[in-house]
Amino acid sequence: MSASPLSPEYIKIRHAHRQFITPEGGIINALDDISLSIAQSEFITLLGPSGCGKTTLLKIVAGFEELDSGDILLDGQSIIQQPAHKRPVNTVFQSYALFPHMTVGDNVGYGLDIAKVNKIERNQRVAEALNMVGLSGIEQRLPSQLSGGQQQRVALARAIINRPKLLLLDEPLSALDKNLRLQMQLELKNLQSELGICFIFVTHDQEEALTMSDRIVVLNGGKIEQVGSPDEIYHTPKTEFVAKFIGESNILSGIVINKSETEIEVDCNGLTLHSFDTKPELGEEVKLLLRPEHLSLTPNDHEGARAQLTMKLNQTVFIGTDYQLHGELQNGQSFSALTRKTNTPLVNGSELTLYYQVNALHTIPSKKKSTKGHI
Ligand SMILES: Nc1ncnc2c1ncn2[C@@H]1O[C@H](COP(=O)(O)OP(=O)(O)OP(=O)(O)O)[C@@H](O)[C@H]1O
Ligand SMILES: [Mg+2]
């Protein structure tokens, strides 16, 4: 039975495993039991450090690489036996690899020429595809007569012309300069909603992932660390790896020493912090995540003095709109905060009082429970 167009399970990756034997004789688990369901018109991003398996997963979906075990279903049908050219999937790579001796029109129309689509329809669809990527009327130019951003758009036009159900994009913007990259991020997002098809986008740039995605899949060492909306991934990371990988973070280790219905108190090596995140048990070891932007040099009206920390300031960095303050807490831990222009003097070596929002303090459970601290 076929999935409905809005089914969140349009694409199902089931227990995907892929190992590589390296020339040195080592074994790499490039994909280690990946299971993931994706909706038909979703913009989903694979995010993770170099070597975590992003490209391997895309290649397997595209059909350029095989699974050791597991399955991939598209609209209810397994596609792993289908050769790459039969899958309704196209890929855009980092190096857009246009044919240099062919005009833009011939590059974009290449797939239709191979499929022997008649000239009139072919030319019309080339014009449509170029129009979708904002490049009307440049069919006669050669790739060398275009900027990097324009070439990337031609590669996109070439990838969408045969109307794939799924577009795979492997770091397609990484060769572009920052401004062009930001512009292309918005254009890609618009293109995806216009086409209404699924984009699986790969990046190792966290900001890019947060800006563009409906959901983000954070990968680490061939495994999924977390799948969620950009908001969930940023504000409620499930693991320390995700908390550190996405955005700036202060992570404090501690033990829950007090717990009420609405609040916990955590001892972090002599410092007591409060959180409204009451999932951890009394006596449990936890990691606390406190983002630098959730700290302030002025007290919070509701929480006042109890939600504060003292930091010895070591360094102030001006980053345009804000100041990054780097220093050390009383328990010796490195710490940072972000603040707008302030009347508080920022003198290295001075002690600053930092106020935090209790509701912004998120806990990440540790694997093991502590034996001490029960009260
Ligand atoms: N053909 C291969 N033979 C051996 N090892 C491979 C092969 N292809 C990939 N690997 C290894 O598998 C792991 C995953 O590689 P992959 O290319 O999927 O990483 P990635 O997340 O795309 O990294 P990057 O961000 O650097 O592009 C890496 O450790 C890589 O060295
Ligand atoms: Mg890669």
- pLDDT tens for the chain, 375 residues: list them: 444 545 678 999 999 999 999 888 899 999 999 999 999 999 999 999 999 999 999 999 999 999 999 999 999 999 999 999 899 999 988 776 899 999 999 999 999 998 899 999 999 999 999 988 888 889 999 999 998 888 988 998 999 998 899 999 999 888 778 888 888 898 889 889 988 999 999 998 999 999 999 999 999 999 999 999 999 999 999 999 999 999 899 999 999 999 999 999 999 999 999 999 999 999 999 999 999 999 999 876 666 567 899 999 999 999 888 999 999 999 899 999 999 877 888 899 999 999 998 888 999 977 655 444 333
CATH H-level superfamily of 248-369: Nucleic acid-binding proteins (2.40.50.140)
Question: What is the distance in A from the centroid of ligand 2 to the CA of 71?
Answer: 21
User: Could you tell me which of 167, 223, 240, 209 has the C-alpha nearest to residue 51?
Assistant: 223
* Alpha-carbon Rg for the chain in angstroms: 25
The partner residues of 145 in beta bridges, in order of sequence, read none
Q: What does the chain come to in residues?
A: 375
Residue nearest to atom 31 of ligand 1 (CA): 51
Fold of 11-241: Rossmann fold (3.40.50)
Q: Within 10 Å of residue 149's Cβ, how many Cβ atoms? A: 20
**Residues with CB in 5 Å of ion ligand 2:** 55
Q: Where are the domains of the chain?
A: 11-241, 248-369
- Please check whether residue 18 is in contact with residue 174, taking contact to mean a CB–CB distance below 8 angstroms: no
Secondary structure class of 316 (helix, strand, coil): strand
Largest Cα separation within the chain, whole Å, is 80
Distance in Å, CA 94 to ligand 1 centroid: 15
Q: How far apart are the first and last CA of the chain?
A: 56
Amino acid, single-letter form, for residue 90: N
Residue 223: CB atoms within 10 A of its CB come to: 15
Read off the tokens for 230: 């950009």
